[in-house]
């Protein structure tokens, strides 16, 4: 499953295994994310994978620039209402829905 992830995320996981814990721990989801995913708990990594799968399934990548996602209404609901999102910004936008890690 890790090979499906963007290169930057793969590198972050392999460089810092502690980060992996933050990515794979199950958390209770806020209502917007719960409605989008249809479940009440998921890990950050799982959430990212589901959103990425949704983007691919619904052909939301810009055909001229694969680094850009054209958001439909459902995707906009979890990405701050943005029309278009750069792929590199996707993990940070998803992360906003998750509680801060305790220091």
- Residue 10's pLDDT is 60
Which CATH number do you get for residue 32? 1.10.245.10
Domain count, the chain: 1
> Which range marks the domain in which residue 23 is found?
7-96
Q: Does 63 fall in a domain?
A: yes
Q: Does 50 fall in a domain?
A: yes
Q: Does 102 fall in a domain?
A: no
pLDDT(23) > 80: no
Q: Does 2 fall in a domain?
A: no
Instruction: Indicate the pTM of the whole model.
Output: 0.75
pLDDT digits (tens, 9 = 90+) for 52-80: 999 999 999 999 999 999 999 999 999 99
pLDDT(36) > 80: yes
- Residue 79's pLDDT is 93
Q: Does 103 fall in a domain?
A: no
Question: Which residues are paired to 70 by β-bridges?
Answer: 84
């Amino acid at each position: 499953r890790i090979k499906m992830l963007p290169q930057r995320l793969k590198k972050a996981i392999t460089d810092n295994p502690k980060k992996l814990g933050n990515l794979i721990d199950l958390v209770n989801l806020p209502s917007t994310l719960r409605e989008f995913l249809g479940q009440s708990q998921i890990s950050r990594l799982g959430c990212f994978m589901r959103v990425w799968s949704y983007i691919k399934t619904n052909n939301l990548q810009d055909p001229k620039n694969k680094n850009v996602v054209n958001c439909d209404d459902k995707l906009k609901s979890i990405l701050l209402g943005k029309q278009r999102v750069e792929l590199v910004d996707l993990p940070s936008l998803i992360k906003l829905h998750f509680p801060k890690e305790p220091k």
